[in-house]
Amino acid sequence: MTDKPYLLQIGEVNDRMRQRYEAEFTVLRLFDHEDRAGFLAEHGAKFVAVATDGHWGLPAGVPEALPNLKVVSSYGVGYDAIDADSAAARGIIVAHTPDVLNDEVADTAMMLWLAVSRGLIPSDAWARSGQWRRDGAFPLTRSVQNRTVGILGFGRIGQTIAARAEAFGAKVIYHTRTRRDVPQVYYGDLVDMATASDVLICITPGGAATRHLVNAQVLAALGPEGILINVARGSVVDEPALIAALQSGALGGAGLDVFEVEPAIPEALKSMENVVMTPHVGSATVETRQAMGDLTCDNLSRFLKDGTVLTPVPECRDLVPGD
């Protein structure tokens, strides 16, 4: 027998996180069990806490199998794989890891924009292959200076991206469901913003409400010299429409860190020189992932101490006194 409360671990964790979990909880791992339904039927009532991540969230059937669940701590800022409204209705606090990854994701967005605009990947191939010697100078590319940058989603990361873009002399405009008290220009209509933009950067949350928000009409409005950057969720962009726009020349280029079905990237995207892709690494540095892991653990530790968490998701803030 153990006096430690039970924690259900969903997904993989690093050694530092595992040591902290095991110091405070009796940890059982969902993915250690082939018969997960049977495992949950036998042990589900024991768990007061879940540690998960933005990819796995709470898989179907898990919340219903945990009648005594009190807190969910997710490694990542996005939590669309967790039904936070249902959790809040049950009195379950959901926590995530905002702020600690703002800079890294913003840097990734800028990296992708610069790489697409300046032709980084094809010019690297030009230098490596000997084409420079054979064929002369690499074709001219487009400057990133003094562009109009439209940002879809203007929360913490969106505003961090804005500051970086403005360092390149950009005029930053933005679209969200509600206007923010910020100096940047607000667009209530996404198509209108895309029409006004040279670059459209997606950093809105995923989920049903934003699925395929960037559709064929938005891409056409961005235009044949426009660039789409997605560091949000793959579901935000209509991927077949994106491929069609790139193939037809209706869109100038794209920088993508996320895809609709990961890790299955469409072959059509892989063959395009005007597309730069990274494998969902927006926050993937040693320093940032350590900070995310620490905050995931800190939220659980705080819950054990006083029944609150440091960084609840908005849907659960009413469950955290004083937040």
Give me the catalytic one of 280, 289, 302, 315. Answer: 280
301, 24 Cβ separation under 8 angstroms: yes
Place of tokens 């869109």: 251
Residue count (the chain): 323
Burial of 23 (0-12, 13-18, 19+ CB in 10 A): exposed
Give me the catalytic one of 12, 64, 225, 262. Answer: 262
d(CA 66, CA 83): 14
Which pair of tokens denotes residue 189? 């209509």
Residue 122's contacts (CB-CB under 8 Å, 6 or more residues apart) are 138, 273
d(CA 97, CA 74): 7
Per the annotation, the verdict on 262 as an active-site residue is yes
Give me the catalytic one of 96, 233, 289, 302. Answer: 233
Per the annotation, the verdict on 280 as an active-site residue is yes
Per the annotation, the verdict on 233 as an active-site residue is yes
d(CA 251, CA 249): 5
Q: Tell me which residues are annotated as active site.
A: 233, 262, 280
